[in-house]
């Protein structure tokens, strides 16, 4: 089978797709990747061939920053690349409307790699769920509206959609988390399954990690490390004033991954090392706990290593994932108010053995999941089901187990 991976090219989306793609290649399938040019070295390290998105008209179309504005360009790029590769199946990221519509136009199946928790409406249940940000209903409605607008923009509005119900899920939506991150009693929609973290990342270059380690030992004075991973602010408050206060003269030192945030502002006297790395595993290994905005990559990396979390969400999926982690008892939410001292909050979390024990237990379950194998099983099952005559599809494509 010829498979084209066409995820968003940001690490939090690209790396899980590469993990699934590597397993599919190990099973004998032909796997290629459509990604923006800057992601080429990472794709090469994963051992997969890379088609450059810009060469197929996909400028900005595979950037998480531009995902809501470039659906039509993504559609055209995936359509061209899939035809060139003679792809039998696509694997894309959640929120990639262009790739979903390209699969529909090509009449081939598509599997979607999701986040660590389900973003949209449950099939049933979920009553009483506390929402830190937008409701599931609001997020689902807006996502469907954007999908419909993209569908009209690319000229598919007159065609009967393949997935009249839940068109955002593709033929299978693969969640990278655990049932503990869903609301108790909630039932996921058909075609949605948990597969586990799909953990893969590039290795540090020679001497790269050692330089970070040396810096922490030289300037941190032996203080325990907090790994800080900053996502997009979405117009919310920047964490920098609180970071500078917490890590100046406090009990911890910080390694801050700038991530997709802008305008880093570490104070001159703060015990802060600012980095921008395509990997985070060694940094989390060296940390006592993790402070993040609540995106999937640092949350899963922390849990896989048994590290408790302090989460400070802004927009998009961050409040939902934060609520899921707090509910599972593996994280504490930073209320971001002057009355709550961040340094004291970090100390409290660091000493909380119950929080740490629950993080280790959930991490052990995630590590045991073998997400790449589960994902590959579901992708192969989707392909087999799609080969059955169309009139039998509703019986062939059941929810993956």
DSSP characters over 105-134:
HHT--EEEE--SS--S--SB--TT---SSS
Computed over every residue of the chain, the mean pLDDT equals 92
Going by C-alpha positions, the residue among 284, 256, 277, 252 that lies closest to residue 363 is: 284
pLDDT score at 398: 38
Structure tokens at 229: 């991973």
Mean pLDDT of 358-366: 97
Reported confidence tier of residue 393, pLDDT bands at 50, 70, 90: very low
How many angstroms separate the CA atoms of 265 and 274, rounded? 9
How many angstroms separate the CA atoms of 134 and 148, rounded? 20
How does pLDDT run across 269-309, given as a tens digit for each residue?
999 999 999 999 999 999 999 999 999 999 999 999 999 99
pLDDT score at 395: 33
How many angstroms separate the CA atoms of 188 and 179, rounded? 10
Reported confidence tier of residue 108, pLDDT bands at 50, 70, 90: very high
Helix axes 71-85, 97-106, angle to 10 degrees: 40
Residue whose token pair is 């030289």:
218
- Residues 234 and 314: beta-carbon distance below 8 Å: yes
How does pLDDT run across 214-241, given as a tens digit for each residue?
988 887 778 999 999 998 765 567 889 9
Structure tokens at 121: 């409406």
Mean pLDDT of 129-145: 89
- The predicted model scores a pTM of 0.93
Structure tokens at 349: 């979390």
3-state secondary structure of 292: strand
DSSP string, 268-282: TTS-EEEE--S--HH
With the C-alpha atoms ordered 73, 79, 84, 88, is the resulting torsion angle positive or negative?
A: positive
């Amino acid at each position: 089978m010829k498979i084209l991976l066409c995820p968003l090219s940001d690490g939090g989306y690209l790396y899980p797709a590469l993990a699934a793609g590597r397993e599919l290649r190990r099973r004998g399938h032909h796997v290629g990747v459509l990604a923006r040019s800057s992601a080429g070295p990472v794709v090469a390290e994963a051992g997969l061939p890379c088609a450059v998105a810009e060469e197929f008209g996909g400028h900005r179309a595979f950037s998480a920053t531009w995902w809501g504005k470039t659906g039509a360009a993504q559609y055209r790029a995936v359509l061209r690349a899939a035809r060139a590769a003679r792809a039998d199946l696509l694997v894309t990221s959640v929120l990639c409307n262009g790739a979903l519509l390209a699969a529909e136009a090509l009449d081939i199946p598509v599997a979607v790699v999701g986040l660590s928790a389900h973003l949209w409406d449950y099939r049933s249940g979920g009553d009483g769920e506390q929402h830190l940000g937008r409701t599931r209903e609001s997020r689902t409605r807006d996502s469907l509206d954007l999908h419909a607008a993209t569908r009209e923009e690319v000229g598919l509005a007159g065609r009967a959609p393949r997935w009249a119900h839940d068109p955002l899920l593709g033929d299978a939506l693969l969640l990278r988390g655990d049932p503990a991150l869903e609301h108790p009693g909630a039932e996921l929609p058909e075609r949605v399954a948990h597969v586990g973290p799909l953990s893969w990342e590039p290795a540090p270059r020679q001497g790269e990690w050692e330089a970070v380690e040396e810096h922490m030992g030289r300037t941190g004075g032996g203080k325990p490390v907090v790994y800080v991973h900053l996502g997009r602010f979405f117009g919310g408050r920047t964490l920098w004033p609180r970071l500078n206060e917490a890590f100046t003269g406090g009990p911890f030192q910080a390694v801050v991954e700038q991530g997709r945030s802008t305008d880093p502002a570490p104070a001159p006297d703060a015990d802060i090392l600012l980095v921008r790395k395509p990997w985070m595993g060694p940094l989390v290994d060296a940390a006592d706990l993790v402070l993040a905005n609540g995106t999937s990559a640092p949350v899963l990396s922390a849990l896989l290593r048994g590290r408790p979390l302090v989460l400070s969400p802004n927009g998009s999926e961050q409040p939902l994932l934060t609520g899921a982690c707090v509910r599972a008892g593996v994280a504490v939410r930073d209320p971001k108010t002057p009355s709550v001292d961040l340094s004291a909050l970090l100390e409290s979390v660091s000493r909380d053995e119950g929080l740490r024990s629950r993080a280790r237990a959930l991490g052990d379950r995630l590590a045991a999941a073998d997400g790449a194998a589960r994902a590959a099983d579901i992708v192969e099952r989707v392909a087999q089901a799609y080969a059955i005559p169309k009139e039998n599809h509703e019986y062939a494509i059941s929810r993956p187990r």
